[in-house]
Amino acid sequence: AQKITQTQPGMFVQEKEAVTLDCTYDTSDQSYGLFWYKQPSSGEMIFLIYQGSYDEQNATEGRYSLNFQKARKSANLVISASQLGDSAMYFCAMREGNSGAGSYQLTFGKGTKLSVIP
C-alpha cells in the first residue's frame, strides 16, 4: 500500500479563492510528522507546513493551513486567497518515528499540480 496518496493530479483555482489539496497517509507508527512542500517549475522544494502526530491543533503558516484528521489519516493542505505565484506542484510527505534504519526519511506522494487562474 502506498504510504502517501494524493488523488488529485491537477487542480484549478480562481485567483483570491481558497483551495484544498488532498492527502491521505498510511502508517502504523504513533509518532510521525506530516509535511507539505511546494515545487515550482524551477525545481526547488520549498517547505510550507508541518504537522506532528501528537499536535492537537491544526498547523497554520500564513495563508497555508493543514486540516489534520488523525482518525481518517488525512492531512489536507488549505491555501487561502490564492495568488498566481501559487501555481506549482504540491507534495505531501511523511516522516515516520519508528524507523528501523534510523534514517527518518521523507516519503512523498505523487503530487498535485495547482494552477491559479487570473
Partner 1 sequence: GAGVSQSPRYKVAKRGQDVALRCDPISGHVSLFWYQQALGQGPEFLTYFQNEAQLDKSGLPSDRFFAERPEGSVSTLKIQRTQQEDSAVYLCASSLALDYTGELFFGEGSRLTVL
Instruction: Please give the residue ranges that form the binding site for partner 1 (CB under 8 A).
Output: 4, 31-33, 35, 37, 42-45, 47, 50, 52, 91, 93, 95-97, 99, 101-111
In whole angstroms, the minimum distance from the beta carbon of 106 to partner 1 comes to 6
In whole angstroms, the minimum distance from the beta carbon of 91 to partner 1 comes to 5
Q: Say if residues 9 and 22 touch (Cβ distance below 8 Å).
A: no
In whole angstroms, the minimum distance from the beta carbon of 12 to partner 1 comes to 18
- Extract the C-alpha cell encoding 86: 501559487
Query: Is 101 or 118 the residue whose CB approaches partner 1 more closely?
Result: 101
**Interacting residues of 22 by C-beta distance below 8 A, sequence separation 6+:** 6, 7, 8, 74, 76, 112
Query: Is 35 or 68 the residue whose CB approaches partner 1 more closely?
Result: 35
In whole angstroms, the minimum distance from the beta carbon of 30 to partner 1 comes to 11
> Distance between alpha carbon 9 and the CA centroid of its chain, in Å?
13
Query: Is 63 or 113 the residue whose CB approaches partner 1 more closely?
Result: 113
Report how far apart, in Å, the C-alpha atoms of 9 and of each of 18, 21, 55, 91 are.
18, 10, 28, 11
Query: Is 37 or 68 the residue whose CB approaches partner 1 more closely?
Result: 37
As a whole number of angstroms, the distance between CA 46 and CA 77 comes to: 14
